[in-house]
Structure 1
Amino acid sequence: MPAKIIQGRDLSEQIRQRNESRVRELADKGVTVRLDAIIVGEPESGIIYARSQERKCQSIGIDYRLHTLPGNANDNELQALIDNLNSDPDVTGILLNLPLPDHLDAPAAQYAIDPYKDIEGVNPSNIGLMFYGTPINAPCTALAVHTILNEAKVELRGKNITVVGQGNIVGKPIALALIAEEATVNTCNKYTDNLMAHTKDADILIAAAGVPEMITADHVREGAIVIDVGINSVPADEAKGTPARVVGDVLFDEVSQKASLITPVPGGVGPVTVAVLLQSAIDAANKQLGTRRFR
């Protein structure tokens, strides 16, 4: 029987509605949720993404401010901007758009963001607190995966879960979040020998390796839940007559015939990640109530 497809766009709309209601509740308390984003240089994709962020924020009442630094800005200039936003009581969330130019120290910039305003959960303090299951703000993609599983009423305690991908932003935080739920978690990567031996026994398989369609039906046991975090651009192939397309780390058409639940790409984890990013912005403002001065 084909898998039930978890439509991230539907879930993201539910989260958006909840977010809008929470923003109104904070406004009634005199609190404006404000998200300040930083871009260094003006990469076309970054500007497009920032404008999309702005529209989504405005649609639910979040005050969005974009700060741009020239492409030749140095670490001290970026640090000074982050320090100013950290100390501004009107700023409740800070978002650093990556990638930064190669000459800048991205980890240092992430570390500089106040953990309470770090809505992406990239500050090492927030990553470290995931070991205890108590981050101030959780990494957004990990939170999105956790949200998808919770909304689908998937029991995590005691389940065998394999995460393929060990990146600092996605794979590792997802594994830590699931360990906190008392799941049995196995982590692999694209270099793992005999990967299939690790994935075939998984009740839940999470693909986050960044390799197009690497997970096939042979990697998945019958009835498994498959969450595809990958998003990969595949160029057109004239020889095969295939157009350019966006695919995940999972060979969807094959695996969807074997899994019980599966997320598509696009339209799966991605929209939920955007929705929980704004949820985190609201959470950050709420956590700062009573500890910060709002005007």
Structure 2
Amino acid sequence: MTTHILDGKKLAEKIRAEIRSELSNNGKKSRAPALAVILVGDDPASTVYVRNKQRASEEAGIHSILHKLSAAISQKELIALIEQLNHDSQIDGILLQLPLPKHLNPDDLLEVIHPDKDVDGFHPFNLGRLAQRRPALRPCTPYGIMTLLDSIQQPYKKKHAVIIGASNIVGRPMALELLTAGATVTICHRFTEDLSQHVKQADILIAAIGKPDVIKSEWIKENATVIDVGINRLEDESIVGDIEFESAC
């Protein structure tokens, strides 16, 4: 199979540099934009994700403020913090790192974040705008995927996009993004039968199911555009995606 690797890292660096330049040239701003990041507990993966997000923010010229909270914090206490940040005029965005401890309800907490400060795009208002083809703040991973696809001038109309995974974070909003762009969209999930047959039809394949190497290289059609969102840690501590990368290349 002929392959061409999409360099998302290089594109992200370019975007961060452009944002930093735009902010530095904006003389009307008396301060840098400020992002409040809420991290509950000591989950190792979440800690790494938050550190990377903060680093990326600073590289883009965005001030990042970490609120590191005990895993024992109550729903009521966390709501109070979010509401405080909503009313803080010095805070432009709020990011609640998921997953949360089991005693906390993430859906209710995400709904407390003001839609204008919902940088993850998970508030029902922002998801509703996306569904109506009038996007405001968009879910980050699907929006990042669309930005990557647009960077290679990926055509969407008359193309069949197959999404593996139906999570609220990636799969569902990804489907809305691709529908808005004009693609014909199929979503596959844990109840989908004959997964290989759906994958074989994909002109655009987005893998986001969270199962290591579940998609085999021989399923992927020639000249398909493939993006693997999966991050899976194996017993030997290595990280793999949802697609058999080595054989796919």
Shorter-chain TM range is over 0.9
Q: CA deviation at 1:179?
A: 0.2
- Contact persistence 2:17–2:59 (CA under 8 A): no
Partner of 1:99: 99
Query: Which stretch shows the higher mean deviation, 168-177 or 21-30?
Result: 21-30
Query: Which stretch shows the higher mean deviation, 58-67 or 25-34?
Result: 25-34
Which TM-score applies when normalising by structure 2?
0.94
Instruction: Give me the whole-angstrom Cα distance separating, in 2, the residues matched to 1:164 and 1:27.
Output: 45
- Contact persistence 1:95–1:118 (CA under 8 A): yes
Deviations 1:154-198 (A, max 9, x none): 111221111111111000010110000111001111431111221
Deviations 1:26-77 (A, max 9, x none): 4543353000111223444434433333333223321111112322211111
Partner of 2:222: 222
Partner of 1:251: 244
1:206 has 2:206 as partner: yes
- Contact persistence 1:26–1:32 (CA under 8 A): no
Q: 1:196 to 1:55 in 2, by over 3 A?
A: closer
Uncovered stretches (5+) of structure 1, i.e. residues with no partner: 237-243, 257-295
Instruction: Give me the whole-angstrom Cα distance separating, in 2, the residues matched to 1:27 and 1:234.
Output: 48
Which TM-score applies when normalising by structure 1?
0.80
Instruction: Give me the whole-angstrom Cα distance separating, in 1, the residues matched to 2:44 and 2:216.
Output: 34
Matched position secondary structure for 2:223: coil
Q: 1:55 to 1:196 in 2, by over 3 A?
A: closer
| Equivalent residue runs for 1:161-180 within 5 Å | 161-180=161-180
- Superposition RMSD in Å: 1.6
- Contact persistence 2:2–2:222 (CA under 8 A): no
Seq. identity, %? 38
- Contact persistence 1:164–1:190 (CA under 8 A): no
- Contact persistence 1:34–1:64 (CA under 8 A): yes
Matched position secondary structure for 1:3: coil
Q: 1:54 to 1:204 in 2, by over 3 A?
A: closer
Query: Which stretch shows the higher mean deviation, 106-115 or 60-69?
Result: 60-69
Query: Which stretch shows the higher mean deviation, 36-45 or 245-254?
Result: 36-45
* Structure 1 residue ranges, 4+ long, deviating more than 6 angstroms after superposition: none
Aligned length, in residue pairs: 249
Partner of 2:133: 133
Partner of 1:40: 40
Q: 1:188 to 1:48 in 2, by over 3 A?
A: closer
Q: 1:49 to 1:220 in 2, by over 3 A?
A: closer
Q: CA deviation at 1:88?
A: 1.0
- Contact persistence 1:189–1:209 (CA under 8 A): yes
Q: State the structure with bigger RCO (CA 8 A, min sep 6), 1 or 2.
A: 1
Instruction: Give me the whole-angstrom Cα distance separating, in 1, the residues matched to 2:119 and 2:48.
Output: 20
Partner of 1:182: 182
Deviations 1:254-290 (A, max 9, x none): 222xxxxxxxxxxxxxxxxxxxxxxxxxxxxxxxxxx
